[in-house]
């Protein structure tokens, strides 16, 4: 692997691992799958391919951030804001 890409990939792994601590199914579940996903591609050498995979990783980071935000927003909305019955029943 080209050197600058190696550190990019390592940083991506660390960033994803950090995000995985909050994963709803548990940090261990996340770490297992993260490791498997990275290991599956460990023999890729083409820099273009690697860049594509890193971009996919960045995309997953954005997806996770959105997931965490939505979970929290919905939990707060449910706890603190009364749902209008008519809105829930889809009438009126």
Partner 1 sequence: MSRVLVGVKRVIDYAVKIRVKPDHSGVVTDGVKHSMNPFCEIAVEEAVKLKEKKFIKEVVAVSCGPTQVTETIRTALAMGCDRGIHVEVSGKDYEAMGPLQISKIFAALAKKEEASLVILGKQAIDDDCNQTGQMTAALLDWPQGTFASEVTIDGEKVKVVREIDGGLETIKISMPAVLTADLRLNTPRYATLPNIMKAKKKKIATMKPADLGVDMVSRVEVLRVDEPPTRLAGVKVETVDDLVAKLKANGTI
**Please, what is the minimum distance in Å from the beta carbon of residue 45 to partner 1?**
26
The contact set with partner 1 (CB under 8 A) reads: 11, 14-15, 18-19, 24, 61, 65, 68-69, 71-73, 75-77, 79-81
Cβ neighbours, 10 Å, residue 57: 19
Residues 75 and 92: their CA atoms lie apart, in Å, by 25
* Minimum separation from the CB atom of position 11 to partner 1 (A): 8
Q: How many CB atoms lie within 10 A of CB 90?
A: 6
Nearer to partner 1, 49 or 65 (CB): 65
Report how far residue 44's alpha carbon sits from residue 36's, in angstroms, rounded to the nearest whole number.
14
Q: Which residue, 44 or 61, has its beta carbon nearer to partner 1?
A: 61
Report the distance separating Cα 44 and Cα 37, nearest Å: 13
Q: Minimum CB separation from partner 1 for residue 72, in Å? A: 6
């Amino acid at each position: 692997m080209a050197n600058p890409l190696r550190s990019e990939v390592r940083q991506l792994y660390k960033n994803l691992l950090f995000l995985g601590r909050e994963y709803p199914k548990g940090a261990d579940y996340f770490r297992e799958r993260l490791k498997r996903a990275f290991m599956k591609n460990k023999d890729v050498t083409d820099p273009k391919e690697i860049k594509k995979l890193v971009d996919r990783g960045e995309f997953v980071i954005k997806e996770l951030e959105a997931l965490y935000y939505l979970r929290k927003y919905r939990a707060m909305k449910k706890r603190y804001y009364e749902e209008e019955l008519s809105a829930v029943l889809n009438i009126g």
